[in-house]
Amino acid sequence: MVVKQTNTEELRGHETVDEIRKGPKFRPVLHALTSNPGVEMMNYAEGKKDMITLGQGEGDSPTPDFICDATYQAMQDGLTTYGPTLGQWPLRETLSQYYKNIYELDIPERRIFVTSSGSTAMHLSLASLLDKGDEVVAITPIWKNLIGAIELTQAENVQVSLDFDKEQGWSLDLDKLFGAVTPKTKVILVVTPSNPTGWSATKEEMKAILDFARERNIWVLSDEVYGRIVYDSDHKNMRADSFLDVAQDDDLLLVVNSFSKSWAMTGWRLGWIVGPKIAEDKIRDVALYNNLCPPTFTQYGAIAALNEGEDFLKSQVDLWRSNRDILVDRFKSSGNVDMSYPQATFYGFFKVHGQDDCKLMTKRFIDEAGVLLAPGCAFGATAKGYIRMCFAVSERRLVEALDRMDVVLQNS
């Protein structure tokens, strides 16, 4: 299914056209942002007692001490001032070395741009590429914030859904993806591994997408923030395939990444982009006027994460793999839930048989089970009926949530 969602299709629930006309004069695009059912459900659950919160995309471990210690040290060393717009050179160099060590790729530091989060990396990328009237062809289901980020640029988002099959899980139909590209298309957006489905593009698919984009001179924007959260890997180190594995150095490719998920650093707000040489000046221009530079001392914590973080990451992924198996077994034995076996990320994306209203189901899990999940309709027009559950918590917490959820599953 291909859905073209224009920015003016849907007004947010609390604003009528009259209210907008009379109200303060914000940019029209802010009135036209599509609604965010995930936030709606968080608001619905707010204040309710004894809630298990599995609706957001983060683990429940604190940032490890060795990362915090390196950050305190940087503060004590006086690294508390503005820094270079595209990041501290020691971090850019460490990222280059990280690509050598973990990805066996040679990415010079000048092609690596440090940003104030993966979200910012995405905004800077989109802001440097898109104008009103341009189109972004995005593979969905997709994290809602990326759709919001496109809407803010006033470009149109064209959503191409992965297909779901009970046996095979989620898969990409390349013909459908390429068929959605028009002369207005400026960017093909891929999230691999995908939040929320756990689907990952194969190397062959990545190569086909890059070849197609190269012929038409359009950009590929790949969000790879879950690239290290994989449960199976053909590579020397546990990691997903990356567009960088199959790209040429000067391809119109921007790969977005983040420190948030792999090293328990969601609150730190640090990410990076890998791009072609020609992007360095342009991303710098946008970043300069956006935030001047990423925070200085936290970048030294990020260096510690890259240099010393492999054991921590492995312990996290081991826990999440075991949680993933518990979740899959429980849903299988419930008999009325469809969910693919996530090979990556820390999300279960499931559908209860016969229940197509994901907001209603999410409310039932809140009210009847005391478990907050994310409604699937937050992940694009084609994900109706699905629900996303983050399993990056302790086994005890996960099992408690699943026990509570049984009430709803048995009565659906």
Mark residues 221-260: x for contact with ligand PLP by CB under 6 A, - for none: --x-x--------------------------------x-x
Angle at 165 between CA 159 and CA 167, to 5 degrees: 150
Interaction between residue 71 and ligand PLP (CB under 6 A) = no
Kindly tell me which residue out of 107, 112, 129, 191 binds ligand PLP, with binding defined by CB under 6 A: 191
The CB-of-323 to ligand PLP minimum distance in angstroms stands at: 18
What is the size of the binding site for ligand PLP (CB under 6 A)? 13
CA dist 343 to 228, 232, 238, 349, 404, Å? 11, 7, 12, 12, 25
Residue whose CB is less far from ligand PLP, 242 or 258:
258
**Which string of b and e fits 210-237 if b means at least 16 CB within 10 Å?**
bebbbeeebbbbbbbbbbbbbbeeeeee
- Computed on alpha carbons and rounded to an integer, the radius of gyration of the chain in Å comes to 21
Interaction between residue 347 and ligand PLP (CB under 6 A) = no
Angle at 307 between CA 102 and CA 287, to 5 degrees: 85
Kindly tell me which residue out of 98, 103, 113, 143 binds ligand PLP, with binding defined by CB under 6 A: 143
The CB-of-225 to ligand PLP minimum distance in angstroms stands at: 4
The CB-of-391 to ligand PLP minimum distance in angstroms stands at: 14
Kindly tell me which residue out of 117, 140, 222, 382 binds ligand PLP, with binding defined by CB under 6 A: 117
* Crossing angle (nearest 10°) for helices 65-76 and 298-308: 140
The CB-of-392 to ligand PLP minimum distance in angstroms stands at: 11
> Where in 7-66 is the site for ligand PLP (CB under 6 A)?
57
> Where in 260-299 is the site for ligand PLP (CB under 6 A)?
260, 266, 271
Compute the distance between CA of residue 105 and CA of residue 224 in angstroms, rounded to an integer: 15
Q: Footprint of ligand PLP on this chain (CB under 6 A)? A: 57, 117-119, 143, 191, 195, 223, 225, 258, 260, 266, 271
